[in-house]
């Protein structure tokens, strides 16, 4: 008799291999890449002193909404992100079969985390399409500060924010490690790593994952400082980090490097959509 866990894994693998989900996941990977390209662009704009956009997923979706056929594009983003969420959920249940022991469970935990990210982006895309995505004006740090302030007022609030900072720092470290160790290669087919295309993909992936790690590391630092000083004004997302570091020596140059790296992360996912593989 097949164990319930094995049956669930088999069904997850079958769902993940379905051609419809495969195609929708590729669409989702393209839209995810476009979102990060826009985040990189908005980060560069903030580095140059333009406060008109938010260097975040919400800001990128708001940029899409303001373009011709923006509402239709947002529903496409929502569909693609939903497909990616389902695809990663299947990966969390039945994927990473080429790994053993702790590495397999760590891989499935990572897939579960990406499921939450993609699902959140899908919900945000729907809200933005319906006109409920929130404002992306200013530095974009206000929303994050508002949430942090509410958490800091709770019992053990600083400890919760500090724990959140540790989680974000873990994501930052994992992203940087993925880029530096070339573990991203597991996500694309062999053909995508050969010849001139392979060199381009390698450069984009390494620069993208490391830059994303740096960006998340700065956000973790801001969260930790807010928790230690019990001051929500010290927290924020990438927007707030850019504003804080923009006036430092070499600050605009360092921010520009991170912005280019985030754009590379987006471009890499455009390639990954073509060379996508499930396990």
From CA 46, how far away is CA 48, in angstroms rounded?
A: 5
pLDDT range class, residue 13, cuts 50, 70, 90: low
- When comparing pLDDT for 99 and 39, which is higher? 39
% pLDDT > 70, the chain: 75
What tokens were used for 124?
Answer: 């945000």
From CA 146, how far away is CA 66, in angstroms rounded?
A: 25
Tens-digit pLDDT profile for residues 108-136: 787 888 888 899 889 999 989 888 755 44
Extended strands (E) in 173-246: none
On the question of pLDDT at 92 being above 90, the answer is no
171 Cβ contact partners less than 8 Å away, ≥ 6 residues apart: 113, 216
pLDDT recorded at residue 74: 92
From CA 85, how far away is CA 60, in angstroms rounded?
A: 19
Tens-digit pLDDT profile for residues 252-265: 777 888 888 889 98
| Average pLDDT, rounded, for the chain | 77
On the question of pLDDT at 11 being above 80, the answer is no
Tens-digit pLDDT profile for residues 154-176: 888 888 888 988 988 988 898 89
CA angle 113, 119, 123 (to 5 degrees): 145
Neighbours of 10 (CB within 10 A): 13
Q: For the residues 63-70, what does the mean pLDDT come to?
A: 85
Domain coordinates in residue numbering, the chain: 4-274
pLDDT range class, residue 78, cuts 50, 70, 90: very high
182 Cβ contact partners less than 8 Å away, ≥ 6 residues apart: 202, 205, 206
What tokens were used for 67?
Answer: 């373009």
pLDDT range class, residue 235, cuts 50, 70, 90: low
């Amino acid at each position: 008799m097949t164990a319930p866990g094995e049956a669930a894994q088999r069904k997850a693998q079958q769902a993940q291999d379905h051609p419809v989900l495969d195609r929708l996941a590729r669409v989702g990977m393209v839209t995810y890449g476009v979102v990060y390209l826009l985040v990189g662009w908005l980060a560069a704009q903030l580095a140059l002193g333009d406060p008109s956009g938010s260097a975040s997923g919400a800001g990128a979706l708001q940029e899409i909404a303001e373009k011709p056929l923006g509402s239709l594009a947002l529903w496409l983003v929502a569909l693609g992100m939903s497909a990616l969420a389902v695809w990663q959920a299947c990966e969390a249940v039945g994927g990473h079969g080429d790994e053993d022991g702790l590495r397999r469970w760590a891989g499935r935990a990572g897939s579960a985390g990406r499921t939450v990210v993609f699902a959140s982006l899908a919900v945000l895309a729907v809200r933005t399409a319906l006109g409920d995505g929130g404002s992306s004006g200013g530095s974009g740090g206000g929303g994050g500060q508002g949430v942090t302030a509410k958490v800091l007022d709770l019992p053990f609030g600083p400890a919760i924010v500090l724990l959140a900072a540790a989680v974000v720092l873990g994501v930052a470290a994992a992203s940087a490690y993925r880029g530096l160790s070339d573990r991203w290669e597991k996500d694309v087919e062999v053909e995508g790593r050969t010849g001139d295309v392979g060199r381009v993909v390698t450069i984009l992936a390494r620069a993208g994952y490391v830059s994303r790690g740096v960006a998340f590391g700065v956000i973790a630092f801001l969260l930790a400082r807010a928790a230690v000083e019990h001051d929500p004004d010290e927290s924020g997302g990438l927007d707030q980090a850019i504003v804080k570091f923009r006036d430092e020596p070499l600050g605009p140059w360092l921010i520009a490097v991170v912005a280019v790296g985030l754009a590379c992360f987006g471009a890499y996912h455009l390639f990954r959509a073509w060379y996508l593989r499930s396990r």
